């Protein structure tokens, strides 16, 4: 398997491989430190919290699910999200952090698990052709859009969470 999933099975495997490791890393962080800034943010020179990294993953996961739902129902999709353009992803990330700012750490992790479970169910429901056989957004397949916004950022966040853990715990 290449580092970039090329089919349904590889996409499912990519998520199923990284996500349990990431969750173990999240669970190793004490809730008392989960809101402490110390993780490199997505905007250069910023620091975010471990909770913010989970909010980021939830936000993108829910967007993927929203995109699919709207397209499947022949509704217009504002990519990446209503009110944001692709060159405003830092602001979009901040909106995810704000949306989950008041959530307790355990509830945030439960929401992340639920969101990833919904994405896994979506992948399981779709055929390989639906995921990788046709362009879905511009030149990108749905499978590639899912990967861009799930397994790839999960790997990135895992590196950041582990780095935070080594310095704090």
Residues 165, 3: Cα–Cα separation, whole Å: 26
pLDDT value at position 31? 97
Tell me how far the alpha carbon of residue 61 is from its chain's centroid: 5
pLDDT value at position 56? 98
Residues 114, 119: Cα–Cα separation, whole Å: 9
Average pLDDT, the chain: 95
Res. 142 pLDDT band, cuts 50 70 90: very high
Res. 2 pLDDT band, cuts 50 70 90: low
The residue whose two tokens read 């809101």 is 35
pLDDT for residue 52 is more than 90 = yes
pLDDT for residue 128 is more than 80 = yes
Residues 147, 50: Cα–Cα separation, whole Å: 21
H or E segment and range at residue 99:
helix 89-99
> 38-50 pLDDT, tens per residue?
999 988 889 999 9
pLDDT value at position 117? 98
Pair of tokens at residue 8: 């349904």
Res. 1 pLDDT band, cuts 50 70 90: very low
């Amino acid at each position: 398997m290449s580092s970039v999933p090329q089919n349904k099975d590889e996409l499912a495997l990519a998520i199923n491989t990284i996500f349990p490791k990431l969750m173990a890393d999240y669970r190793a962080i004490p809730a008392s430190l989960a809101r402490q800034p110390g993780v490199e943010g997505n905007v250069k020179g910023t620091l975010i919290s471990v909770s913010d990294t989970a909010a980021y993953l939830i936000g993108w996961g829910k967007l993927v699910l929203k995109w699919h739902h709207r397209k499947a129902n022949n509704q217009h999709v504002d990519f990446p999200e209503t009110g944001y353009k692709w060159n405003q992803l830092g602001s979009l990330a901040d909106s995810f952090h704000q949306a989950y700012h008041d959530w307790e750490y355990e509830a945030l992790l439960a929401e992340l698990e639920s969101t990833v479970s919904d994405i896994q169910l979506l992948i399981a429901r779709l055929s390989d052709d639906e995921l990788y056989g046709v362009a879905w957004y511009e030149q990108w397949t749905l499978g590639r859009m899912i990967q861009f916004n799930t397994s790839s950022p999960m790997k990135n966040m895992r590196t950041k969470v582990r780095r935070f853990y080594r310095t704090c715990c």
